[in-house]
Amino acid sequence: MDRPTRCPSGGLLLDVRDEGPSHGAPVLLLHGFPQDRTCWDRVTPVLHDAGLRTLAPDQRGYSPGARPTGRGAYRLELLVEDAVAVLDAAGLERAHVVGHDWGGIVAWALAAHRPERAASLTVASVPHPRALARSLARSGQGLRSAYVGAFQLPRVPEALLRPRLGELLHRSGLPAAEAARYAARMEEPGALTGALNWYRALPLSRLRTGPVDVPTTYAWGNRDLALGRRAAELTAGHVRGPYRFVELDAGHWLPETRPGLLARLVAERAGDPGGTAGRG
């Protein structure tokens, strides 16, 4: 079957990069905000060398052919449907699912609600959503997450972010080249609003992510400015399958700053989906 470069989903077209050994075990790579599929550029060569095939879409709001108007078009259940549509377009029953940042939230939800499509799960940075919610009242996570409330405003976040997005990303620990590239991508018509609509759709989403049964690895950087230790440690209570928690001496942007290590964690989980090493 030909590898798709554009994937239909609900009347939209997602751009997809499908690379690596054609018969390798597939890995679905889901980027976060305000990244795009290029965030995996230093991760995928290591995965390919390990014999894995990678599928990295520009998700809803990021692909030029998938920027619907209105925040309701960015509900979590639709983002999960997009991820499943990428697998369907490639003729794949399931894949090892990997997500960073917002892509991690989609990955958690996919593994919880469509476990038959996830051979395993590897999430970078973002804890299980219920662990994150539990941490808000008993840690400093509420302050760390205050920007989510600010993003609910119409138009104002776009006006404030657009002229200084690259600088803010770099100050948060993202390398300068990637910060400039992502900021330039957000200058495309509708791109920044589409990306922010992921946050604005949170109150409208009907999908509530439950416990995860698939084998899972969760990697968290202990210098992450947005996501604190309490939620990271609580995540174990929301995974019922084989689980591994890896604390890194790193910040938030793991695909860009720790690509080799992250790739190794993905390859290890894909090579041992049953988690014979157990929880730890």
The residue annotated as part of the active site, out of 101, 182, 224, 243, is: 101
Query: In which residue are the tokens 């776009």 written?
Result: 158
101 is catalytic: yes
272 is catalytic: no
Instruction: Using alpha carbons, select from 275, 270, 279 the residue that is nearest to residue 50.
Output: 270
The residue annotated as part of the active site, out of 74, 199, 218, 243, is: 199
128 is catalytic: no
The CA-to-CA distance between both ends of the chain, in Å, stands at 39
Would you give the distance in Å from CA 39 to the centre of its chain? 10
Q: Residue 50 is encoded by which pair of tokens?
A: 């390990």
Q: Residue 178 is encoded by which pair of tokens?
A: 């990637």
Q: How far is 54 from 52, CA to CA, in rounded Å?
A: 6
Name the burial class of residue 147, with classes exposed (0-12), middle (13-18) and buried (19+) by CB atoms within 10 angstroms of its CB: exposed
- Is residue 136 within 8 Å of residue 145, measured between CB atoms? yes
> In a 3-state reduction of DSSP, which class is residue 167?
helix
Hey, which residues are catalytic here? 101, 199, 252
